[in-house]
Structure 1
Amino acid sequence: MMRYWQLYAMLACPIAFFIVFKYIPMYGVTIAFKDFNFFQGIMKSKWVGLETFREIFRMKDFYTSVRNTFMLNFLDLIFSFPAPIILAIMLNEVRVVWFKKISQTILYLPHFISWIIIGGIVYQVFATHSGLVNEVLRIVGIHAIPFLSDKHYWLFTYLVIGIWQSAGWGTIIYLAALTGINKELYEAAEVDGASRLKKIRYITLPGMKPTIITLLILKMGEMVHIGFDRPFVIGNIMVREYSEVISTFVYRMGLQSGNYSIATAVGLFQAVIGLFFVIAANYISKKTTDQGII
Protein backbone atom coordinates (compact mmCIF):
# COMPACT_ATOMS: atom_id res chain seq x y z
CA MET A 1 0.00 0.00 0.00
CA MET A 2 2.86 2.39 0.74
CA ARG A 3 4.45 1.69 -2.64
CA TYR A 4 1.26 2.27 -4.64
CA TRP A 5 -0.44 4.76 -2.33
CA GLN A 6 -1.47 6.92 -5.31
CA LEU A 7 -3.65 4.13 -6.70
CA TYR A 8 -5.25 3.51 -3.31
CA ALA A 9 -5.86 7.26 -2.94
CA MET A 10 -7.68 7.22 -6.29
CA LEU A 11 -9.87 4.42 -4.97
CA ALA A 12 -10.88 6.52 -1.97
CA CYS A 13 -13.51 8.52 -3.88
CA PRO A 14 -15.49 5.59 -5.36
CA ILE A 15 -15.23 3.68 -2.06
CA ALA A 16 -16.53 6.72 -0.18
CA PHE A 17 -19.35 7.05 -2.74
CA PHE A 18 -20.48 3.46 -2.20
CA ILE A 19 -20.26 3.75 1.58
CA VAL A 20 -22.22 7.02 1.75
CA PHE A 21 -24.81 6.41 -0.97
CA LYS A 22 -25.11 2.59 -1.03
CA TYR A 23 -24.24 1.07 2.34
CA ILE A 24 -25.35 3.70 4.87
CA PRO A 25 -28.83 4.02 3.25
CA MET A 26 -29.27 0.25 3.81
CA TYR A 27 -30.27 1.18 7.34
CA GLY A 28 -33.47 2.53 5.79
CA VAL A 29 -34.52 -1.06 5.08
CA THR A 30 -35.65 -1.23 8.73
CA ILE A 31 -38.62 0.94 7.68
CA ALA A 32 -40.08 -2.26 6.17
CA PHE A 33 -40.32 -3.69 9.70
CA LYS A 34 -41.76 -0.58 11.33
CA ASP A 35 -44.96 1.43 11.31
CA PHE A 36 -43.00 4.33 9.90
CA ASN A 37 -44.00 7.81 10.99
CA PHE A 38 -42.39 10.59 8.98
CA PHE A 39 -42.33 12.98 11.94
CA GLN A 40 -40.95 10.45 14.46
CA GLY A 41 -38.22 9.21 12.13
CA ILE A 42 -36.84 5.71 11.69
CA MET A 43 -35.48 5.29 15.22
CA LYS A 44 -38.67 6.21 17.09
CA SER A 45 -41.20 4.57 14.78
CA LYS A 46 -43.00 1.55 16.25
CA TRP A 47 -41.51 -1.88 15.41
CA VAL A 48 -44.14 -4.17 13.84
CA GLY A 49 -41.96 -7.01 12.55
CA LEU A 50 -43.39 -8.87 9.54
CA GLU A 51 -46.83 -7.28 9.74
CA THR A 52 -46.07 -5.01 6.76
CA PHE A 53 -45.21 -8.04 4.61
CA ARG A 54 -48.44 -9.77 5.68
CA GLU A 55 -50.35 -6.68 4.62
CA ILE A 56 -48.60 -6.64 1.25
CA PHE A 57 -49.36 -10.28 0.54
CA ARG A 58 -53.04 -9.58 1.23
CA MET A 59 -53.15 -6.85 -1.45
CA LYS A 60 -54.53 -7.81 -4.86
CA ASP A 61 -52.71 -4.92 -6.58
CA PHE A 62 -49.38 -6.29 -5.35
CA TYR A 63 -49.90 -9.64 -7.06
CA THR A 64 -51.03 -7.84 -10.22
CA SER A 65 -47.86 -5.73 -10.22
CA VAL A 66 -45.64 -8.78 -9.63
CA ARG A 67 -47.35 -10.69 -12.44
CA ASN A 68 -46.98 -7.77 -14.85
CA THR A 69 -43.34 -7.23 -13.87
CA PHE A 70 -42.47 -10.84 -14.62
CA MET A 71 -44.54 -10.81 -17.82
CA LEU A 72 -43.01 -7.62 -19.25
CA ASN A 73 -39.48 -8.63 -18.27
CA PHE A 74 -39.94 -12.10 -19.74
CA LEU A 75 -41.21 -10.63 -23.03
CA ASP A 76 -38.28 -8.20 -23.02
CA LEU A 77 -35.96 -11.18 -22.49
CA ILE A 78 -37.50 -12.98 -25.47
CA PHE A 79 -37.66 -10.06 -27.90
CA SER A 80 -35.36 -7.26 -26.64
CA PHE A 81 -32.38 -9.33 -25.47
CA PRO A 82 -31.57 -10.87 -28.90
CA ALA A 83 -32.03 -7.53 -30.74
CA PRO A 84 -28.60 -6.00 -29.92
CA ILE A 85 -26.92 -9.35 -30.68
CA ILE A 86 -28.49 -9.42 -34.15
CA LEU A 87 -27.69 -5.74 -34.73
CA ALA A 88 -24.06 -6.20 -33.64
CA ILE A 89 -23.63 -9.12 -36.06
CA MET A 90 -25.22 -7.12 -38.89
CA LEU A 91 -23.00 -4.10 -38.21
CA ASN A 92 -19.95 -6.34 -38.00
CA GLU A 93 -20.71 -7.66 -41.48
CA VAL A 94 -20.95 -4.17 -43.01
CA ARG A 95 -17.81 -3.42 -45.02
CA VAL A 96 -18.55 0.21 -46.03
CA VAL A 97 -16.98 2.19 -43.19
CA TRP A 98 -18.92 5.46 -43.62
CA PHE A 99 -22.26 3.64 -43.80
CA LYS A 100 -21.36 1.61 -40.70
CA LYS A 101 -20.53 4.76 -38.69
CA ILE A 102 -23.73 6.54 -39.75
CA SER A 103 -25.80 3.44 -38.90
CA GLN A 104 -24.21 3.15 -35.45
CA THR A 105 -24.90 6.82 -34.69
CA ILE A 106 -28.54 6.53 -35.74
CA LEU A 107 -28.99 3.36 -33.65
CA TYR A 108 -27.34 4.87 -30.55
CA LEU A 109 -29.34 8.12 -30.53
CA PRO A 110 -32.61 6.81 -28.95
CA HIS A 111 -30.66 5.80 -25.83
CA PHE A 112 -29.91 9.47 -25.09
CA ILE A 113 -33.56 10.58 -25.30
CA SER A 114 -35.34 10.69 -21.95
CA TRP A 115 -38.44 8.57 -21.48
CA ILE A 116 -40.52 11.71 -20.95
CA ILE A 117 -39.66 12.87 -24.47
CA ILE A 118 -40.14 9.36 -25.82
CA GLY A 119 -43.56 9.28 -24.16
CA GLY A 120 -44.51 12.48 -25.97
CA ILE A 121 -43.33 11.00 -29.27
CA VAL A 122 -45.31 7.80 -28.62
CA TYR A 123 -48.54 9.73 -28.04
CA GLN A 124 -47.95 11.85 -31.15
CA VAL A 125 -47.36 8.75 -33.28
CA PHE A 126 -49.67 6.10 -31.79
CA ALA A 127 -52.58 8.02 -30.22
CA THR A 128 -55.93 6.55 -31.28
CA HIS A 129 -57.58 9.77 -32.51
CA SER A 130 -54.70 12.09 -33.35
CA GLY A 131 -51.66 9.82 -33.81
CA LEU A 132 -49.73 9.89 -37.06
CA VAL A 133 -50.09 6.14 -37.67
CA ASN A 134 -53.87 6.13 -37.22
CA GLU A 135 -54.25 9.26 -39.35
CA VAL A 136 -52.52 7.41 -42.20
CA LEU A 137 -54.66 4.32 -41.60
CA ARG A 138 -57.83 6.41 -41.77
CA ILE A 139 -56.71 7.95 -45.06
CA VAL A 140 -56.32 4.50 -46.64
CA GLY A 141 -59.69 3.40 -45.24
CA ILE A 142 -58.54 1.27 -42.26
CA HIS A 143 -60.06 1.65 -38.80
CA ALA A 144 -57.90 3.25 -36.11
CA ILE A 145 -55.89 0.85 -33.96
CA PRO A 146 -55.98 1.52 -30.17
CA PHE A 147 -52.23 1.18 -29.62
CA LEU A 148 -52.37 2.90 -26.22
CA SER A 149 -55.89 2.17 -24.98
CA ASP A 150 -56.23 -1.58 -25.60
CA LYS A 151 -54.08 -3.73 -23.30
CA HIS A 152 -52.99 -6.17 -26.01
CA TYR A 153 -52.02 -3.47 -28.51
CA TRP A 154 -50.38 -1.54 -25.66
CA LEU A 155 -48.23 -4.58 -24.88
CA PHE A 156 -47.05 -4.68 -28.50
CA THR A 157 -46.31 -0.92 -28.45
CA TYR A 158 -44.44 -1.25 -25.15
CA LEU A 159 -42.14 -3.93 -26.55
CA VAL A 160 -41.48 -2.17 -29.86
CA ILE A 161 -40.63 1.14 -28.17
CA GLY A 162 -38.34 -0.66 -25.71
CA ILE A 163 -36.43 -2.40 -28.50
CA TRP A 164 -36.10 0.86 -30.45
CA GLN A 165 -34.78 2.71 -27.39
CA SER A 166 -32.29 0.13 -26.09
CA ALA A 167 -31.16 -2.16 -28.92
CA GLY A 168 -28.68 0.24 -30.51
CA TRP A 169 -26.89 1.07 -27.27
CA GLY A 170 -26.73 -2.62 -26.33
CA THR A 171 -24.75 -3.37 -29.49
CA ILE A 172 -21.71 -1.55 -28.06
CA ILE A 173 -20.88 -4.40 -25.67
CA TYR A 174 -21.29 -7.06 -28.35
CA LEU A 175 -19.25 -5.10 -30.90
CA ALA A 176 -16.50 -4.86 -28.30
CA ALA A 177 -16.69 -8.64 -27.85
CA LEU A 178 -16.42 -9.11 -31.62
CA THR A 179 -13.18 -7.13 -31.75
CA GLY A 180 -11.61 -9.79 -29.53
CA ILE A 181 -12.20 -12.57 -32.05
CA ASN A 182 -9.04 -13.61 -33.89
CA LYS A 183 -9.27 -12.36 -37.49
CA GLU A 184 -7.20 -15.33 -38.65
CA LEU A 185 -10.21 -17.55 -37.95
CA TYR A 186 -12.22 -15.65 -40.56
CA GLU A 187 -9.33 -15.80 -43.02
CA ALA A 188 -9.01 -19.57 -42.53
CA ALA A 189 -12.77 -19.98 -43.00
CA GLU A 190 -12.57 -17.88 -46.17
CA VAL A 191 -9.87 -20.15 -47.56
CA ASP A 192 -12.01 -23.19 -46.75
CA GLY A 193 -14.89 -21.66 -48.70
CA ALA A 194 -17.19 -20.92 -45.78
CA SER A 195 -20.14 -18.64 -46.50
CA ARG A 196 -20.97 -15.58 -44.39
CA LEU A 197 -23.71 -17.45 -42.54
CA LYS A 198 -21.36 -20.29 -41.66
CA LYS A 199 -18.71 -17.84 -40.42
CA ILE A 200 -21.35 -16.22 -38.21
CA ARG A 201 -22.50 -19.59 -36.93
CA TYR A 202 -19.11 -21.18 -36.24
CA ILE A 203 -16.90 -18.15 -35.44
CA THR A 204 -18.90 -15.03 -34.55
CA LEU A 205 -21.52 -16.55 -32.25
CA PRO A 206 -19.05 -18.78 -30.32
CA GLY A 207 -16.79 -15.74 -29.89
CA MET A 208 -19.70 -13.77 -28.43
CA LYS A 209 -20.88 -16.64 -26.23
CA PRO A 210 -19.14 -15.61 -22.93
CA THR A 211 -20.50 -12.05 -23.23
CA ILE A 212 -23.98 -13.27 -24.08
CA ILE A 213 -24.02 -15.64 -21.10
CA THR A 214 -22.79 -12.96 -18.68
CA LEU A 215 -25.39 -10.43 -19.81
CA LEU A 216 -28.10 -13.11 -19.79
CA ILE A 217 -27.31 -13.97 -16.16
CA LEU A 218 -27.45 -10.28 -15.20
CA LYS A 219 -30.70 -9.91 -17.13
CA MET A 220 -32.18 -12.86 -15.24
CA GLY A 221 -31.30 -11.09 -12.01
CA GLU A 222 -33.43 -8.15 -13.15
CA MET A 223 -36.53 -10.25 -13.82
CA VAL A 224 -38.23 -8.85 -10.72
CA HIS A 225 -36.85 -5.33 -11.28
CA ILE A 226 -38.29 -3.00 -13.88
CA GLY A 227 -37.62 0.63 -14.65
CA PHE A 228 -40.20 3.16 -13.51
CA ASP A 229 -40.09 5.54 -16.48
CA ARG A 230 -41.12 3.27 -19.34
CA PRO A 231 -44.36 1.72 -17.94
CA PHE A 232 -45.32 4.94 -16.15
CA VAL A 233 -44.91 7.23 -19.18
CA ILE A 234 -46.42 4.90 -21.79
CA GLY A 235 -49.07 3.41 -19.48
CA ASN A 236 -52.45 4.91 -18.58
CA ILE A 237 -55.55 4.05 -16.56
CA MET A 238 -57.12 2.13 -19.47
CA VAL A 239 -54.27 -0.40 -19.61
CA ARG A 240 -53.39 -0.53 -15.90
CA GLU A 241 -54.16 -4.26 -15.93
CA TYR A 242 -50.85 -4.67 -17.80
CA SER A 243 -48.97 -1.43 -17.09
CA GLU A 244 -49.09 -1.60 -13.27
CA VAL A 245 -45.68 -3.00 -12.28
CA ILE A 246 -43.75 -3.15 -9.01
CA SER A 247 -42.00 0.19 -9.56
CA THR A 248 -45.28 2.04 -10.25
CA PHE A 249 -46.89 0.20 -7.32
CA VAL A 250 -44.09 1.43 -5.03
CA TYR A 251 -44.56 4.95 -6.42
CA ARG A 252 -48.28 4.89 -5.65
CA MET A 253 -47.81 3.41 -2.18
CA GLY A 254 -44.78 5.49 -1.18
CA LEU A 255 -45.04 8.92 -2.78
CA GLN A 256 -48.74 9.22 -3.58
CA SER A 257 -50.17 7.47 -0.51
CA GLY A 258 -47.32 8.18 1.92
CA ASN A 259 -47.13 4.52 3.02
CA TYR A 260 -43.35 4.28 3.18
CA SER A 261 -43.32 1.00 5.11
CA ILE A 262 -45.11 -0.86 2.32
CA ALA A 263 -42.95 0.78 -0.37
CA THR A 264 -39.75 -0.20 1.47
CA ALA A 265 -40.97 -3.75 2.08
CA VAL A 266 -41.73 -4.21 -1.63
CA GLY A 267 -38.25 -2.89 -2.49
CA LEU A 268 -36.69 -5.40 -0.08
CA PHE A 269 -38.80 -8.16 -1.63
CA GLN A 270 -37.45 -7.18 -5.07
CA ALA A 271 -33.85 -7.28 -3.86
CA VAL A 272 -34.17 -10.74 -2.29
CA ILE A 273 -35.94 -12.29 -5.29
CA GLY A 274 -33.47 -10.62 -7.68
CA LEU A 275 -30.53 -12.08 -5.74
CA PHE A 276 -32.15 -15.52 -5.94
CA PHE A 277 -32.55 -15.23 -9.72
CA VAL A 278 -28.91 -14.17 -10.22
CA ILE A 279 -27.60 -17.08 -8.12
CA ALA A 280 -29.93 -19.58 -9.81
CA ALA A 281 -29.09 -18.37 -13.33
CA ASN A 282 -25.37 -18.43 -12.56
CA TYR A 283 -25.62 -21.96 -11.11
CA ILE A 284 -27.50 -23.28 -14.15
CA SER A 285 -25.05 -21.56 -16.52
CA LYS A 286 -22.00 -23.07 -14.80
CA LYS A 287 -23.59 -26.53 -14.84
CA THR A 288 -24.56 -26.38 -18.51
CA THR A 289 -21.83 -24.22 -20.13
CA ASP A 290 -19.12 -24.12 -17.43
CA GLN A 291 -19.26 -20.31 -17.58
CA GLY A 292 -20.64 -17.84 -15.06
CA ILE A 293 -20.03 -14.56 -13.25
CA ILE A 294 -19.36 -15.94 -9.76
Structure 2
Amino acid sequence: MIKDLTIVVDGVGRRAAPYGLGLAAEFDASVSAVSVLPLEPFGTFAQSEIRYDMIVAAEQDAREQAAAAAEAVAAEALAAGRPCETTAICTSAPLAPLRLAGFVHLSDLVVIEQADAAHPKPADAYLETLLFRGARPVLVVPYIHASPPRFATAIVAWDGSAPAARALSDALPLLRRIARVELVSVTDEPVPEATHGRAVRHLARHGVEAVFHTLPGGLPVGEALLSHAADRGADLLVMGAYGHSRLREAILGGTSRTILASMTVPVLMSR
Protein backbone atom coordinates (compact mmCIF):
# COMPACT_ATOMS: atom_id res chain seq x y z
CA MET A 1 0.00 0.00 0.00
CA ILE A 2 0.97 3.61 -0.49
CA LYS A 3 0.68 5.27 2.91
CA ASP A 4 3.79 7.46 3.00
CA LEU A 5 4.35 9.54 -0.13
CA THR A 6 7.19 12.01 -0.75
CA ILE A 7 6.90 14.89 -3.20
CA VAL A 8 10.16 16.52 -4.34
CA VAL A 9 9.71 20.23 -5.06
CA ASP A 10 11.91 23.23 -5.74
CA GLY A 11 9.59 26.23 -5.95
CA VAL A 12 9.85 26.23 -9.76
CA GLY A 13 8.13 23.06 -11.01
CA ARG A 14 4.34 23.05 -10.82
CA ARG A 15 3.30 19.47 -11.71
CA ALA A 16 4.62 17.12 -9.01
CA ALA A 17 2.69 18.60 -6.08
CA PRO A 18 -0.86 18.49 -7.54
CA TYR A 19 -0.34 14.99 -8.94
CA GLY A 20 1.25 13.71 -5.73
CA LEU A 21 -1.51 15.18 -3.58
CA GLY A 22 -4.08 13.56 -5.87
CA LEU A 23 -2.41 10.19 -5.35
CA ALA A 24 -2.27 10.78 -1.59
CA ALA A 25 -6.01 11.42 -1.56
CA GLU A 26 -6.64 8.25 -3.59
CA PHE A 27 -4.65 6.11 -1.16
CA ASP A 28 -5.40 8.06 2.02
CA ALA A 29 -1.65 8.57 2.38
CA SER A 30 0.40 11.01 4.41
CA VAL A 31 2.66 13.35 2.49
CA SER A 32 6.21 14.58 2.96
CA ALA A 33 7.18 17.64 0.90
CA VAL A 34 10.94 17.88 0.53
CA SER A 35 12.75 20.73 -1.16
CA VAL A 36 16.42 20.58 -2.08
CA LEU A 37 18.47 23.66 -2.91
CA PRO A 38 22.25 23.08 -2.86
CA LEU A 39 24.50 25.68 -1.32
CA GLU A 40 27.65 26.85 -3.05
CA PRO A 41 30.71 25.59 -1.11
CA PHE A 42 32.58 28.35 0.72
CA GLY A 43 35.73 27.53 -1.28
CA THR A 44 33.99 28.74 -4.43
CA PHE A 45 34.15 32.27 -3.06
CA ALA A 46 37.52 32.03 -1.31
CA GLN A 47 39.52 33.80 -4.02
CA SER A 48 36.80 36.26 -4.97
CA GLU A 49 36.09 39.74 -3.67
CA ILE A 50 32.63 38.80 -2.39
CA ARG A 51 32.24 39.77 1.25
CA TYR A 52 31.58 37.06 3.81
CA ASP A 53 28.36 38.68 4.95
CA MET A 54 27.06 38.50 1.37
CA ILE A 55 27.87 34.77 1.27
CA VAL A 56 25.99 34.22 4.53
CA ALA A 57 23.05 36.21 3.20
CA ALA A 58 22.99 34.11 -0.01
CA GLU A 59 22.97 30.90 2.02
CA GLN A 60 20.15 32.18 4.21
CA ASP A 61 18.17 33.14 1.13
CA ALA A 62 18.59 29.63 -0.30
CA ARG A 63 17.40 28.09 2.96
CA GLU A 64 14.35 30.34 2.99
CA GLN A 65 13.55 29.47 -0.63
CA ALA A 66 13.76 25.75 0.13
CA ALA A 67 11.55 26.07 3.19
CA ALA A 68 9.01 28.17 1.29
CA ALA A 69 8.80 25.61 -1.53
CA ALA A 70 8.02 22.81 0.91
CA GLU A 71 5.60 24.92 2.93
CA ALA A 72 3.66 25.82 -0.22
CA VAL A 73 2.93 22.12 -0.76
CA ALA A 74 1.97 21.73 2.90
CA ALA A 75 -0.54 24.55 2.49
CA GLU A 76 -2.09 22.79 -0.52
CA ALA A 77 -2.23 19.55 1.44
CA LEU A 78 -3.82 21.25 4.43
CA ALA A 79 -6.48 22.80 2.20
CA ALA A 80 -7.27 19.30 0.95
CA GLY A 81 -7.39 17.87 4.48
CA ARG A 82 -4.20 15.88 3.98
CA PRO A 83 -1.42 15.64 6.62
CA CYS A 84 1.93 16.86 5.31
CA GLU A 85 5.41 17.10 6.80
CA THR A 86 7.99 19.46 5.32
CA THR A 87 11.75 19.14 4.97
CA ALA A 88 14.23 21.57 3.43
CA ILE A 89 17.62 20.16 2.47
CA CYS A 90 20.26 22.86 2.06
CA THR A 91 23.81 21.63 1.91
CA SER A 92 26.70 21.59 -0.54
CA ALA A 93 25.93 20.35 -4.05
CA PRO A 94 27.85 17.03 -3.76
CA LEU A 95 25.99 16.10 -0.56
CA ALA A 96 22.49 17.32 -1.38
CA PRO A 97 21.50 14.41 -3.66
CA LEU A 98 22.74 11.86 -1.14
CA ARG A 99 20.80 13.54 1.68
CA LEU A 100 17.69 13.38 -0.49
CA ALA A 101 18.26 9.71 -1.34
CA GLY A 102 18.57 8.88 2.34
CA PHE A 103 15.42 10.85 3.14
CA VAL A 104 13.21 8.91 0.71
CA HIS A 105 14.32 5.52 2.02
CA LEU A 106 11.32 5.65 4.35
CA SER A 107 8.78 6.49 1.65
CA ASP A 108 6.46 4.18 -0.26
CA LEU A 109 6.61 6.31 -3.42
CA VAL A 110 8.49 9.41 -4.58
CA VAL A 111 6.88 11.92 -6.95
CA ILE A 112 9.01 14.38 -8.94
CA GLU A 113 8.50 16.50 -12.04
CA GLN A 114 10.18 15.59 -15.33
CA ALA A 115 13.25 17.64 -16.24
CA ASP A 116 12.71 20.28 -18.92
CA ALA A 117 15.88 20.92 -20.93
CA ALA A 118 14.53 24.25 -22.15
CA HIS A 119 13.72 25.48 -18.64
CA PRO A 120 16.04 23.79 -16.08
CA LYS A 121 15.02 23.77 -12.43
CA PRO A 122 16.83 22.66 -9.24
CA ALA A 123 14.99 19.34 -8.83
CA ASP A 124 16.17 18.18 -12.28
CA ALA A 125 19.56 17.33 -10.78
CA TYR A 126 18.22 14.68 -8.39
CA LEU A 127 16.27 12.20 -10.49
CA GLU A 128 19.13 9.82 -11.25
CA THR A 129 20.24 9.76 -7.62
CA LEU A 130 16.68 8.97 -6.55
CA LEU A 131 16.47 6.11 -9.06
CA PHE A 132 19.82 4.54 -8.30
CA ARG A 133 20.30 5.32 -4.60
CA GLY A 134 16.86 6.12 -3.25
CA ALA A 135 15.78 2.47 -3.13
CA ARG A 136 12.14 3.49 -3.65
CA PRO A 137 9.95 3.67 -6.77
CA VAL A 138 9.92 7.09 -8.44
CA LEU A 139 6.90 8.44 -10.28
CA VAL A 140 7.90 11.12 -12.79
CA VAL A 141 5.19 13.59 -13.80
CA PRO A 142 5.57 15.24 -17.24
CA TYR A 143 6.14 18.99 -17.08
CA ILE A 144 3.20 19.37 -19.49
CA HIS A 145 0.86 17.21 -17.40
CA ALA A 146 -1.94 19.22 -15.82
CA SER A 147 -4.64 16.64 -15.06
CA PRO A 148 -5.15 14.73 -11.79
CA PRO A 149 -4.25 11.03 -11.52
CA ARG A 150 -6.45 8.77 -13.64
CA PHE A 151 -6.74 5.00 -13.52
CA ALA A 152 -8.13 3.82 -16.86
CA THR A 153 -5.12 2.29 -18.66
CA ALA A 154 -1.55 1.39 -17.69
CA ILE A 155 1.29 0.08 -19.85
CA VAL A 156 3.91 -2.08 -18.13
CA ALA A 157 7.19 -2.59 -19.99
CA TRP A 158 8.04 -6.25 -19.48
CA ASP A 159 11.13 -8.21 -20.54
CA GLY A 160 11.51 -10.52 -17.55
CA SER A 161 14.54 -8.64 -16.21
CA ALA A 162 15.19 -7.79 -12.57
CA PRO A 163 14.46 -4.03 -12.99
CA ALA A 164 11.21 -4.85 -14.81
CA ALA A 165 10.19 -7.25 -12.03
CA ARG A 166 10.96 -4.66 -9.36
CA ALA A 167 8.92 -2.02 -11.20
CA LEU A 168 6.00 -4.45 -11.60
CA SER A 169 6.01 -5.20 -7.89
CA ASP A 170 6.37 -1.55 -6.86
CA ALA A 171 3.49 -0.56 -9.14
CA LEU A 172 1.00 -3.10 -7.72
CA PRO A 173 -0.84 -0.60 -5.47
CA LEU A 174 -1.48 1.56 -8.54
CA LEU A 175 -2.21 -1.32 -10.92
CA ARG A 176 -4.94 -2.65 -8.61
CA ARG A 177 -6.84 0.56 -9.35
CA ILE A 178 -6.28 0.50 -13.12
CA ALA A 179 -9.17 -0.69 -15.31
CA ARG A 180 -6.93 -2.02 -18.12
CA VAL A 181 -3.34 -3.20 -17.67
CA GLU A 182 -1.11 -4.22 -20.58
CA LEU A 183 2.21 -6.00 -20.25
CA VAL A 184 4.25 -4.97 -23.30
CA SER A 185 7.46 -6.37 -24.81
CA VAL A 186 9.25 -4.73 -27.74
CA THR A 187 10.82 -7.49 -29.86
CA ASP A 188 10.72 -9.27 -33.19
CA GLU A 189 11.43 -12.60 -31.52
CA PRO A 190 8.80 -14.98 -30.11
CA VAL A 191 8.30 -14.24 -26.42
CA PRO A 192 8.44 -17.43 -24.29
CA GLU A 193 5.35 -18.16 -22.25
CA ALA A 194 7.57 -18.28 -19.18
CA THR A 195 8.41 -14.60 -19.77
CA HIS A 196 4.88 -13.25 -19.98
CA GLY A 197 2.46 -16.00 -18.90
CA ARG A 198 3.73 -16.18 -15.35
CA ALA A 199 3.71 -12.38 -15.12
CA VAL A 200 0.05 -12.27 -16.16
CA ARG A 201 -0.82 -14.99 -13.64
CA HIS A 202 1.22 -13.26 -10.94
CA LEU A 203 -0.77 -10.07 -11.46
CA ALA A 204 -4.03 -12.03 -11.40
CA ARG A 205 -3.11 -13.42 -7.99
CA HIS A 206 -2.82 -9.82 -6.81
CA GLY A 207 -6.22 -8.89 -8.20
CA VAL A 208 -4.91 -7.29 -11.40
CA GLU A 209 -6.33 -8.49 -14.71
CA ALA A 210 -3.72 -7.96 -17.41
CA VAL A 211 -3.16 -8.80 -21.06
CA PHE A 212 0.15 -9.29 -22.88
CA HIS A 213 1.05 -7.45 -26.06
CA THR A 214 4.14 -7.60 -28.29
CA LEU A 215 5.35 -4.55 -30.21
CA PRO A 216 7.57 -5.03 -33.28
CA GLY A 217 11.18 -4.10 -32.78
CA GLY A 218 11.52 -1.71 -35.72
CA LEU A 219 11.62 1.35 -33.45
CA PRO A 220 13.96 1.89 -30.49
CA VAL A 221 12.35 0.47 -27.37
CA GLY A 222 11.72 3.84 -25.71
CA GLU A 223 10.05 5.30 -28.79
CA ALA A 224 7.94 2.17 -29.28
CA LEU A 225 6.69 2.27 -25.68
CA LEU A 226 5.83 5.97 -25.81
CA SER A 227 4.05 5.57 -29.14
CA HIS A 228 2.02 2.63 -27.82
CA ALA A 229 1.15 4.51 -24.63
CA ALA A 230 -0.11 7.42 -26.73
CA ASP A 231 -2.14 5.10 -28.97
CA ARG A 232 -3.77 3.52 -25.93
CA GLY A 233 -4.36 6.85 -24.18
CA ALA A 234 -2.48 5.41 -21.20
CA ASP A 235 -2.59 7.11 -17.83
CA LEU A 236 0.59 5.46 -16.55
CA LEU A 237 3.72 3.79 -17.90
CA VAL A 238 5.61 1.39 -15.63
CA MET A 239 9.19 0.33 -16.37
CA GLY A 240 12.51 -0.59 -14.83
CA ALA A 241 15.29 2.00 -14.83
CA TYR A 242 18.31 0.69 -16.67
CA GLY A 243 21.90 1.84 -16.29
CA HIS A 244 24.64 1.03 -18.80
CA SER A 245 27.74 1.65 -16.72
CA ARG A 246 29.03 -0.64 -13.99
CA LEU A 247 31.55 1.96 -12.87
CA ARG A 248 29.08 4.80 -12.49
CA GLU A 249 25.55 3.59 -11.83
CA ALA A 250 23.95 7.00 -12.21
CA ILE A 251 24.18 6.83 -16.00
CA LEU A 252 20.85 5.89 -17.48
CA GLY A 253 20.63 3.66 -20.49
CA GLY A 254 19.24 4.84 -23.82
CA THR A 255 15.71 3.54 -23.29
CA SER A 256 15.34 5.22 -19.90
CA ARG A 257 16.73 8.49 -21.21
CA THR A 258 14.36 8.45 -24.20
CA ILE A 259 11.39 7.91 -21.91
CA LEU A 260 12.43 10.64 -19.49
CA ALA A 261 13.15 13.15 -22.25
CA SER A 262 10.01 12.57 -24.34
CA MET A 263 7.36 11.29 -21.90
CA THR A 264 3.85 12.71 -22.12
CA VAL A 265 2.35 10.33 -19.54
CA PRO A 266 3.36 9.80 -15.88
CA VAL A 267 6.05 7.12 -15.60
CA LEU A 268 6.76 4.93 -12.59
CA MET A 269 10.38 3.76 -12.58
CA SER A 270 12.16 1.35 -10.25
CA ARG A 271 15.70 0.10 -10.05
Q: TM-score range by the shorter chain?
A: under 0.3
Considering fraction of residues, name the structure with more strand: 2
Considering fraction of residues, name the structure with more helix: 1
Q: Which has the larger radius of gyration?
A: 1
Greater RCO between the two (CA within 8 Å, min separation 6)?
A: 1
